[in-house]
């Protein structure tokens, strides 16, 4: 009789169990290849100890076949990445069956060529180098092959200390070390630098203000609010020269031949410097002309540019005029986002493109789990059906990165597992995700998964919802004169039900033995509770507010650098 079905993560495309066991000889599986270099050596040698390794050019890149019989173990792969992934599977099998592996055949490989993850390291929170290296470890286990760290100003650009001196930026030496660590596990670290919109961190300084579309401030087109600090570079030669200098400083830290130039949300375009051009030719035409020039900066440096595709997709008639040597990234973070229509249009144009869902963790203290899981599944499904090159799962830090890092784990793992094998990973193995991303014990991974699943559904207790954020976060971060608007339409019964729901979650959090994860989720829970109490007119008293602020800071510094912490804390209206 075949053994019980093994638990593998990500789940493979095909697995068939057979009768019998292969007895593990001594320590034969204790030193399996864990890097691309080691996997390449095993492929070249045709063997890794007692394991036969064969190059099979009929397999696709990154694919492998693992066959275990009563007398042998045979791994076939086209390339070193396939060997590495097959060895990861073998390592998981050995952990579950340390003395004898079940006889089986696994045929496995990714649905999408690019399985990427992007982490925002610009909106206040820059992880420590140790945390970033641990993230790379975890991403390797999730079979990610592209990582991007979203940068606005958090790189130590030479001669621009005024822009980053308070941010605890990543240095060239650190980026090179991260690049090498990524390469070890088959991940391409793609440089990511916003070069058009989202330039507030630069343009708030007098030295750079002349580069702005609206140096004296602007009106947000969605909210009608006046914004003192500009956020968009004007589309002219001076801005291009500025970006050119940044790229010359930044790109040499990476071996990748790609670069993500950003380009999303140039909100004030047409309100200032480009007003006449936009009136004459239209916003999308002016945007596209400048995008072409930005992309030319990348291609002249031997890099294939990526750019966020939101502005381009607002006018599909212009989509075909975007630079053909650039890769648009289609992003959307809500359940029900029209990925299918947008991907279908790019497929019709014959464009190579990526699809970017999100973890729905930002602007929240507990996450928005159901929205995130639906968003991942819809994005990955559309990417596969409409011929995308791959996905770039994103997690952002809008308005201070107040969320505990673990709240991103379940949607992050779900999207990446589905990018590997969509059909077999429709439901996320939450404990396995926590074990990989948190480097947790099996018991703690189960406890953490239970807590995250509960806390991530706090928003479901209130019918009202605001796009791209949690109401409990709104309640705690709103200006005093704006709070009533967020509370409007929310009943006292819903607020009390939410508070009771959090209380039920406290026991789940307390069951986590890992001090750091337990503390992070506890602080997230207490921040959500403080927001709900503020909505009921019962804000924390001063001593309680100070204590919670101190706990938030302690959790922050356990994973991240100090730069940006004060700004993040200032966004919390705890009393």
Is pLDDT of 223 > 90?
no
Q: 17: part of which helix (H) or strand (E)?
A: strand 14-23
Query: Would you state the pLDDT for residue 349?
Result: 87
From 54, 75, 108, give the residue that closes a domain. 108
Shared domain for 18 and 104, answered yes or no, is yes
Q: What is the per-residue pLDDT across 481-493, written as a single tens digit (0 to 9) for each?
A: 999 999 999 999 9
Flag whether 367 is in a domain. no
Q: pLDDT (tens digit, 9 = 90+) per residue, 296-310? A: 999 999 999 999 987
Could you tell me the residue range of the domain that residue 234 belongs to? 152-191+193-261+265-299
Q: Is residue 271 part of a domain?
A: yes
Beta-carbon contacts of 239 under 8 Å, excluding residues fewer than 6 positions away, are 211, 233
What average pLDDT score do residues 40-62 get? 97
Domain shared by 178 and 66, yes or no:
no
Average pLDDT, the chain: 96
Q: What share of the chain is helix, strand, coil (3-state, %, to 5)?
A: 45, 15, 40
d(CA 522, CA 566): 20
Residue 428 in domain:
no
Beta bridge partners of 328: 307
Instruction: Check whether 434 has a pLDDT greater than 60.
Output: yes
SS (H, E, C) 353-383: CEEECECCCCCCCCCCHHHHHHHHHHHHHHH
Q: Are residues 172 and 269 in the same domain?
A: yes
Q: What is the pLDDT of residue 319?
A: 75
469-474-478-482 Cα dihedral, nearest 10 degrees: 100
Burial 103-133 (b: 16+ CB within 10 A, else e): bbebbbbbbbebbbbbbbbbbbbbbebeebe
Bridge-based pairing state of the strands 73-77 and 64-68? antiparallel
Answer whether 12's CB lies under 8 Å from 421's CB: yes
* 498 occurs within a structural domain: no
Same-domain status, 163 and 82 = no
Partners of residue 16 on adjacent β-strands: 105
Q: Which of 77, 108, 139 is the last residue of a domain?
A: 108
pLDDT 10s digits, 241-265:
999 999 999 999 999 999 999 999 9
Position 2 confidence tier, pLDDT thresholds 50, 70, 90:
low
Number of domains in the chain: 2
Answer whether residue 277 shows pLDDT above 60: yes
Answer yes or no: is 57 within a domain. yes
528-551: pLDDT as tens digits: 999 999 999 999 999 999 999 999
Q: Are residues 269 and 163 in the same domain?
A: yes
Domain assignment of residue 572, yes or no: no
Pair (83, 174) in one structural domain? no
| In the predicted structure, residue 146 carries a pLDDT above the cut 80 | yes
pLDDT of residue 317: 73
Per DSSP bridges, beta strands 100-108 and 64-68 are antiparallel
Would you say residue 470 lies in a domain? no
> Are 224 and 101 part of one and the same domain?
no
First-to-last C-alpha distance (Å) of the chain:
64
CATH number at residue 85: 3.30.379.10
CATH of the domain at 249: 3.20.20.80
Does residue 286 share a domain with residue 162? yes
Same domain, 170 and 256: yes
Give the residue among 268, 245, 51 at the shortest CA–CA distance from 157.
245
Per-residue confidence (pLDDT) for residue 318, from 0 to 100: 73
265, 152 Cβ separation under 8 angstroms: no
Tell whether the model's pLDDT for residue 3 goes beyond 70. no
- The residue out of 299, 324, 358 marking a domain boundary is 299
pLDDT tier, 161 (very low <50, low <70, confident <90, very high otherwise)? very high
In 3D space, the residue among 38, 46, 56 whose CA is nearest the CA of residue 140 turns out to be 38
Read off the pLDDT band of 82 (50, 70, 90): very high
Looking at residue 569, its pLDDT comes to: 98
pLDDT at 5: 83
Same domain, 162 and 239: yes
pLDDT tens by residue, 563-573: 999 999 999 99
The pLDDT value given to residue 315:
73
Same-domain pairing of 156 and 99: no
Indicate whether 183 and 287 sit together in one domain.
Answer: yes
What's the rounded Cα separation, in Å, for the pair 196 and 266? 7
Look at residues 395, 357, 362 and name the one whose alpha carbon lies nearest to residue 376.
Answer: 357
Alpha helices in 365-487 (DSSP H): 369-385, 409-420, 430-438, 442-455, 471-477, 480-487
- Rounded Cα distance between 554 and 62, Å, is 41
Does 345 map to a domain? Answer: no
Which residues, including other chains, have CB under 8 Å from residue 431's CB and lie 6 or more apart?
Answer: 442, 445, 446, 448, 449
**Global confidence as pTM:** 0.97
The answer to whether the CB of 92 falls within 8 A of the CB of 48 is: no
Read off the pLDDT band of 233 (50, 70, 90): very high
Residue-wise pLDDT for 108-121, tens only, equals 999 999 999 999 99
What is the structure's pLDDT at 562? Answer: 98
Share of the chain above pLDDT 70, in %: 99
pLDDT at position 1: 52
């Amino acid at each position: 009789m075949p053994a019980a079905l093994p638990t593998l993560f990500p789940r493979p495309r095909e697995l068939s169990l057979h009768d019998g066991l292969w007895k593990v000889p001594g320590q034969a599986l204790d030193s399996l290849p864990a890097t691309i270099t080691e996997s390449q050596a095993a492929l070249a040698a045709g063997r890794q100890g007692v394991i036969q390794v064969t190059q099979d050019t009929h397999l696709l890149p990154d694919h492998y076949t693992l066959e275990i019989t009563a007398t042998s173990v045979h791994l076939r792969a086209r390339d070193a990445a396939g060997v590495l992934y097959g060895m990861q599977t073998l390592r998981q099998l050995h952990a579950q069956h340390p003395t004898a592996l079940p006889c089986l055949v696994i045929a496995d490989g990714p649905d999408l060529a690019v399985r990427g993850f992007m982490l925002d390291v610009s909106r206040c929170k820059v992880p420590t180098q140790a945390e970033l290296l641990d993230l790379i470890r975890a991403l390797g286990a999730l079979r990610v092959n592209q990582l991007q760290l979203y940068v606005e100003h958090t790189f130590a650009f030479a001669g621009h200390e005024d822009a980053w001196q308070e941010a605890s930026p990543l240095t060239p030496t650190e980026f090179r070390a991260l690049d090498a660590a990524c390469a070890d596990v088959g991940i391409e670290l793609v440089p990511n630098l916003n070069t058009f919109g989202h330039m507030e961190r630069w343009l708030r300084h007098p030295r750079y203000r002349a580069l702005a579309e609206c140096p004296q401030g602007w009106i947000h087109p969605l909210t009608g609010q006046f914004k003192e600090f500009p956020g968009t570079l004007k589309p002219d030669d001076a801005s291009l020269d500025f970006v050119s200098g940044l790229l010359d400083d930044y790109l040499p830290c990476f071996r990748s031949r790609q670069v993500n130039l950003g380009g999303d949300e140039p909100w004030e375009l047409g309100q200032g410097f480009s007003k006449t051009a936009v009136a004459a030719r239209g916003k999308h035409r002016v945007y596209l002309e400048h995008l072409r020039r930005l992309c030319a900066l990348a291609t002249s440096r031997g890099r294939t540019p990526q750019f966020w595709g939101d502005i381009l997709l607002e006018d599909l008639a212009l989509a075909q005029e975007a630079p053909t040597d650039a890769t648009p990234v289609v992003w959307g973070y809500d359940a029900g986002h029209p990925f299918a229509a947008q991907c279908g249009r790019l497929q019709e144009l014959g464009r190579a493109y990526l699809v970017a869902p999100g973890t729905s963790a930002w602007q929240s203290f507990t996450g928005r789990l159901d929205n995130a899981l639906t968003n991942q599944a819809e994005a990955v499904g559309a990417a596969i059906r409409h011929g995308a090159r791959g996905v770039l799962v994103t997690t952002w830090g809008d308005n201070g990165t107040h969320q505990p890092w673990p709240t991103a784990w379940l949607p992050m793992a779900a999207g990446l597992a589905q990018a590997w094998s969509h059909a077999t990973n429709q439901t996320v193995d939450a404990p396995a995700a926590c074990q990989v991303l948190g480097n947790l014990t099996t018991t703690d991974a189960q406890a953490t998964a239970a807590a995250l699943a509960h806390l991530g559904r706090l928003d479901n207790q209130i019918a009202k919802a605001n796009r791209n954020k949690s109401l409990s976060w709104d309640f705690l971060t709103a200006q005093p004169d704006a709070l009533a608007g967020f509370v409007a339409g929310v009943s006292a019964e819903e607020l009390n039900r939410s508070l009771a729901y959090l209380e039920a979650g406290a026991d789940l959090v307390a069951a986590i033995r890992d001090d750091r994860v337990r503390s992070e989720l506890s602080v997230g829970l207490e921040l959500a509770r403080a927001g709900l109490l503020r909505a009921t007119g019962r804000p924390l008293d001063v001593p309680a507010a100070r204590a919670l602020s101190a706990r938030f800071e302690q959790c922050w510094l356990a994973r991240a650098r100090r730069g940006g912490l004060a700004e993040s804390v200032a966004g919390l209206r705890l009393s």
